[in-house]
Amino acid sequence: MITLDATDIAILTIIQQDTSLAVADVARRVGLSVTPCWRRIQRLEEQGVIRRRVALLNGEKIGAGLSVFVAVRTNEHNADWLKHFAEVVAAMPEVVEFYRMSGDVDYLLRVVVADMRAYDTFYKTLISKVKLTDVSSSFAMEQIKYTTALPLPESTE
């Protein structure tokens, strides 16, 4: 784990909310001049704390408004099967999150599609490419909270 000071946490808090801000604006908000602020951001990127900067799109506006949580069970528990499954899933742009789980479900996917017909096409493609024991789909009826901002640790200063 990387040690973050209060200024690092302040910078991360700001850019998690709006990465389009100019470095000068971030610097002003955290009480630094531009160059030291930019150096901190670069260091956080080099350390892997900041993985990348992206634009967050409105799925409904671009025809990708249906979120489906797909629970997958398999009787295959070997490295070759997992490698194949991960490659298949990685090639499916509808899958926006993919987790290996503990408990009753082996894998959990969050799939984003336009509608039920698009999900059915996705589902048929998935089961045609990978041997699965059980696939259970839950459709999100309403998104109540969505954020990409991670909780940051308290400063130890």
Instruction: Give me the average pLDDT of each 10-residue run along the chain (157 residues).
Output: 93 97 98 98 97 94 97 96 98 98 98 98 98 97 95 79
Tokens of 85: 């499954």
Strands 66-73 and 107-113: antiparallel
CB atoms within 10 A of CB 134: 12
CA 63/CA 154 separation, integer angstroms: 39
pTM above 0.85, yes or no: yes
* CB 153, CB 3: distance < 8 Å: no
DSSP state of 152: P
In this prediction, residue 29 carries a pLDDT of 98
- In sequence order, the 6+-apart residues with CB closer than 8 A to the CB of 102 are none
In this prediction, residue 154 carries a pLDDT of 82
Domains parsed from the chain with CATH numbers: 6-46 (1.10.10.10), 59-139 (3.30.70.920)
